[in-house]
Amino acid sequence: MIQNNKKDYILMLLRKLQTDRTLKKTEFVELLKNRELIEDELFQVSKEIHVKNFHRKVYVRGLIEISSYCGNDCYYCGIRRSNLNAKRYRLSADEIFEQVRFGTSLGFKSFVLQGGEDPGFSDETLIEIIKEIKKINPQTAITLSVGEKSFETLKAYKEAGADRFLLRHETRNKEHYYKLHPSDMDQDFRLHMLEDLKKLGYQTGSGIMVGSPHQTEENIAEDLLFLRKLNPEMIGIGPFVPATGTPFENEVSGSAELTVFILAVLRIMFPHANIPATTSLATLSKTARDRAIEIAANVYMPNLTPTYRRREYNLYNDKACFEVEAAENLKQLGKIIEGIGSELVMDRGDYSE
């Protein structure tokens, strides 16, 4: 009986979430803590919104990991500067163009340039690279994921042709932030930068790791409320996966199931947002990846880093980047997506309401 009342209450929260596209912090916490009670119903709601808005289309982005050098020392990340085991490389402009040409030949119209915060990669170089990519493939969308930058730099990237920027806030809670990052990092700068990106007209992406060490349900609720306020066009969330050589190497991975649940909550909150089924989710569970695509995620990011470098960009252990996670195996990915009842699409996939 008590259980039934509880279920009714959580169902009421689901209805409220559907109508208001948000909840109070305490309500989000209740929803997260009792997810087993209403998972089926919530997935149903999320799937309806997902199918209605994206018509079972999955947009692909070619992910080029441009540098594994990083000046930051985030405790979770395999390419943190103190990880002496990490292999370091920096792609040359020509290597990047080569990958863009290859991706273009495969039909990609959207590329993500991701890298550590590499002081050896100058703004000028990146600006030239952005311009040249737009010459190679004028139709393409360019997404940057290169960490914290000043307003002026972001403006220059934008003027050169960058369309989108991904910068996960990682966690909104300050205490939690400093359990994941050393004190020389500045959470406020990161949060302000997300505002800058919006002001500059970037399609802006943010997000978190699910199950990062010390994360609580309250933290996740705060993250959901932060995202509500920011209203990003893209949301990237994936489970935390330990990385050898980091302070968190012996921590447990985040839950793939909880990740899928949060993806569904996000789809209900942000019916039109571009939400990928992330590589870290695919790394932990193919079933969860497929479920995510079925009910919430409309983006997939096959790896388009040169194969001879791909193993050297290890944000976490055993990263999925060959097999269907590889751009060169796009056909196989297409089959998997068909198997889920969806269709792989090579369009830019811009945000639209």
Question: Rule CB under 6 A: which residues touch ligand 5AD?
Answer: 76-77, 168, 170, 209, 238, 240-241, 243, 280, 315-316
How far apart are the C-alpha atoms of 227 and 207, rounded to whole Å?
A: 8
CB of 158 to ligand 5AD, least distance (A): 20
DSSP state of 79: T
CB of 60 to ligand 5AD, least distance (A): 18
DSSP state of 181: S
CB of 18 to ligand 5AD, least distance (A): 28
CB of 243 to ligand 5AD, least distance (A): 5
- For residue 50, the Cα-to-chain-centroid distance in whole angstroms is 17
Query: What tokens appear for 198 in the block?
Result: 């919006």
Query: What tokens appear for 74 in the block?
Result: 């985030």
Contact 16, 5 (CB under 8 A): no
147 or 271: CB nearest ligand 5AD: 147
CB of 17 to ligand 5AD, least distance (A): 24
CB of 335 to ligand 5AD, least distance (A): 27
CB of 105 to ligand 5AD, least distance (A): 27
49 or 77: CB nearest ligand 5AD: 77
165 or 240: CB nearest ligand 5AD: 240
243 or 277: CB nearest ligand 5AD: 243
Q: Name the nearest CA neighbour of 61 among 246, 244, 288, 304.
A: 304
209 or 299: CB nearest ligand 5AD: 209
Contact 204, 165 (CB under 8 A): yes
CB of 170 to ligand 5AD, least distance (A): 6
37 or 74: CB nearest ligand 5AD: 74
CB of 241 to ligand 5AD, least distance (A): 4
DSSP state of 170: B
| Residue with the two structure tokens 């830019």 | 348
How far apart are the C-alpha atoms of 209 and 279, rounded to whole Å?
A: 12
Query: What is the DSSP annotation of 229-288?
Result: HH--SEE--EE----TTSTTTTSPPPPHHHHHHHHHHHHHH-TT-B-B--HHHHHH-HHH
Looking at the DSSP bridge assignments, the partners of residue 326 are 303
Alpha carbons within 13 A on the beta-carbon side of 51:
11
37 or 263: CB nearest ligand 5AD: 263
Give the pairing of strands 57-60 and 238-239.
unpaired
Q: Name the nearest CA neighbour of 117 among 178, 175, 44, 66.
A: 66
Query: What tokens appear for 326 in the block?
Result: 């590889």
30 or 65: CB nearest ligand 5AD: 65
Distances (CA, A) of 226 to 2, 123, 135, 169, 237: 32, 29, 37, 9, 14
163 or 170: CB nearest ligand 5AD: 170
The vertex-76 CA angle with 293 and 296, nearest 5°, equals 15
